Amino acid sequence: MIKSLKIYGLFGFMRLIRDKLFTMLFYPKARIIRLPVYIRGKKGIQGGESLTTGVNLRIDIINSETITPVLHIGKNVEFNDYVHIGVAVGISIGDNTLIASKVFISDHNHGSYAGEIHSHPDEKPIDRVLTSKKVTIGKNVWIGEYVAILPGITIGDGAIIGAMSVVSRDIPAYSIAVGAPARVIKKFDKTKSEWTSI
């Protein structure tokens, strides 16, 4: 307790106690959910054992008459401040994944811009058909600040996504990807036990 007081200061320590009590009451499987937090569609959250969050986590789970969307959070996942997750069909985040601040993850889009059906630019974006594709993030993934992960993406186990990247295509396991759009720049060589440039 004295160590926590030194780390957080008196007011920070009081906020920590408040947040821990909130977590125990409303999210008993989690380690700590820091307030403020905004969660729409709490019933769609699965897992979350030992979840840790920063402030201003926003989760939007959009229920519909035909689909029951699910956000699956593995064990020991950590979200930092201002993470926004939008779920219309399904997002899965694997065990021990660390997500930095100001990350956006969405499995849906307002409108269709490929294939047979196309949304018209004169149509209000809010009125356009909602298109969705599941997002899967593996275990032991590290996602840097300001990253955007778009619908239909799979990020493999142990991958690292560099800050400010836009993930618009799949990222293989044990690789480092950066940029907008994100591209793989390194892979982990298991035989040499080192990261090698592509």
Active-site positions read 110
DSSP string, the chain: -HHHHHHHHHHHHHHHHHHHHHHHHH-TTSSB-PSSEEEE-GGGEEE-TT-EE-TTEEEEE---SS---EEEE-TT-EE-TT-EEEESSEEEE-TT-EE-TT-EEESEEES--SSS----TTS-GGGSPEEE--EEE-TT-EE-TT-EE-TT-EE-TT-EE-TT-EE-S-B-TTEEEETTTTEEEEEEETTTTEEEE-
